[in-house]
Amino acid sequence: MTLEIIGISVLWLFLFGYVMVASIDFGAGFFNAYSTLRGKQHILTKIIQRYLSPVWEVTNVFLVFFFVGVVGFFPKTAYYYGTTLLVPISIAIILLAIRGAYYAFTTYGKLKSKKYIYLYGLTGLIIPASLSIVLTISEGGFVTMEELGPVLHYWTLFTSPLTWSIVLLSLTAVLYISSVFLTWYAHKAKDEAATNLLRIYALSWAIPLILTAVGIIFEMRTHNPEHYERLMDFGWIFSLSFALFVGTVYLIWKRKSFGVAFGFVVGQFFLAFFAYGISHYPYLLYPFLTIYDGFTNEAMAISLIIAFIAGLLLLIPSLILLLRLFLFNKNYVEGKQIDNA
């Protein structure tokens, strides 16, 4: 295994971690806003706030690691993606700042205005949509090389069915992952009303998730035939992913083993995420940039790999400790520590 493959594998693992953790975060904000709009905030708000309070400060750690690593391992990505992603990434950064401000003011300043709740929920949809544009651009056909460098053609990008297929998948994935996790969390909190409502949300977003995933494969067939053929080569992995999806829906439908159901969700997205990544190999941007173009020198690569693995070994135990102290602490989950405070 070459350093290039090790480097991109480590980065892809961090990106997967961010996708899972951030999806729960983004979806929780949306469901909180939606329940407030529907007058059901008395059912969900306490559960969602109980989840968000201890984790909001660590959500973006995975994303920071990923962006630093991409530029560190593959310096040429800054040249190809730097200007082309200026608009979508700037939007995402601004919205992340808004979410951070909301967290701080609600946690320490007790901000309760509904308009901020709605803004917070809306950012949970726009951020994954804006970040998913990166995957669309990486498929090629939207960037041309001009005298001044790479140029992104926005009209082509935003009129492409592939773009909106990927955006829709990002939204349905966020809401599905979040609703399944929060169903489990509400069940552990022994909050029957919240469990039943979130269970309905999880089942409601299951079919749209699969339809949007199939839609991307359909669009890929005409937009990037080479990548489509490689995706088909890993069809058996996607079949395993679909089997886990069926298992999740079955358990949610039968109202049992919600923790196992969420484990199936993690496995489902892990398989699909890495099958997609492997099928994309070796391209970072079709057809201009591969992982072998402009890879950093060997000494820097080894140092980065060691640093990222060490960071992962520190981050995972920290998250486990966070889960044990807060999210899956019986008294905290059931709200007893909050009530005593």
Tens of pLDDT, residue by residue over 27-86, are 888 888 888 888 776 677 677 776 665 566 667 777 788 888 888 888 888 888 877 777
Q: What is the mean predicted confidence (pLDDT) over 226-234?
A: 91
Indicate if the pLDDT at residue 267 is higher than 90.
Answer: yes
Q: φ, ψ for residue 146 (rounded to 5)?
A: -110, 180
Which pLDDT value is given to residue 53? 56
Rounded Cα–Cα distance for residues 194 and 256 (Å): 15
Contact 135, 212 (CB under 8 A): no
Query: How remote is the C-alpha of 120 from its chain's centroid?
Result: 17
What are the structural domains of the chain? 3-340 (1.20.1630.10)
Query: Among the ranges 5-9, 44-48, 126-130, 199-203, which has the highest mean pLDDT value?
Result: 199-203
pTM value?
Answer: 0.90
Rounded Cα–Cα distance for residues 189 and 50 (Å): 10
Hey, is 60 helix, strand or coil? coil
Indicate if the pLDDT at residue 179 is higher than 90.
Answer: yes
Alpha carbon of 47 to those of 29, 201, 227, 269: distances in Å?
11, 15, 42, 25
Which pLDDT value is given to residue 317? 81
Higher pLDDT, 108 or 149: 149
Tens of pLDDT, residue by residue over 245-266, are 999 999 999 998 899 999 999 9
Higher pLDDT, 103 or 73: 73
Query: How remote is the C-alpha of 220 from its chain's centroid?
Result: 21
Contact 33, 49 (CB under 8 A): no
Rounded Cα–Cα distance for residues 167 and 175 (Å): 13
